Amino acid sequence: MGELIHFVHQSLDGFIEGPNGEFDWPLMGPELSAYSQELSRGGKTFLYGRVVWEMMANYWPEAERHSQDEHDLAFAPIWREAPKIVVSRTLEKADWNTRVIGENVVEELTALKESGTTLLLFGGSELASHLTEHGVIDEYRVFVHPVLLGGGKPAFAPRGRRAGLELVESRTFDSQVVLLRHRRTS
């Protein structure tokens, strides 16, 4: 059986992007970069909502042209090669080994998990909240960065359903970023 892991960077005050949509604040030091690359390898399928997909698709295909950052250079080939899924009601197709799911999202993703596929959901508060509401996410890996954004998009959009979680790991990367890893219990 596969699983769905939500992998998200957030500020200490709980936002995944700043008040103007900025995402220039995550600290990708060597330890966190290595952890991210290790988690992303091994036949996992990357999962995105449309908004995050558009951000990723505008950067990672040609990341080497835009950056000389060690993390970017190491992650770009992983990203290009990984199978990807975008959940969107408006997008019809996507490049870079990507499938679009527009309907029956919970059923489609559940069937993929049952077939043994491990999915990594990167960011995306609306999709994460929807999948949490339906009990599809098995594990949350929340990386808390040492910044207060003072507003923006919350890590989880309000949905009204409680989800029980168990802390299975906490860890500090590069003496700055804290991982809170939880598994769903209910």
Q: Give the start-to-end residue ranges of the domains of the chain.
A: 4-184
| 141 phi and psi angles, rounded to 5 deg | -115, 100
CA nearest 60: which of 16, 96, 26?
Answer: 96
Q: Does the domain at residues 4-184 carry the CATH identifier 3.40.430.10?
A: yes
Per-residue pLDDT of the chain (186 residues; tens, 9 = 90+): 899 999 999 999 999 999 999 999 999 999 999 999 999 988 899 999 999 999 999 999 999 999 999 999 999 999 999 999 999 999 989 999 999 999 999 999 999 999 999 999 998 889 999 999 999 999 999 999 999 999 999 998 877 778 899 999 999 999 999 999 999 997
Structure tokens at 65: 């042209």
Instruction: Give the angle 30-33-39 at the CA atoms, nearest 5°.
Output: 140
- Dist. CA 112–CA 97, nearest whole Å: 16
Asked if residue 141 lies in contact with residue 6, where contact means CB atoms within 8 angstroms, the answer is yes
pTM for the whole structure: 0.94
Joined together, the tokens standing for residue 73 give 């250079």
Strand partners of residue 8: 142
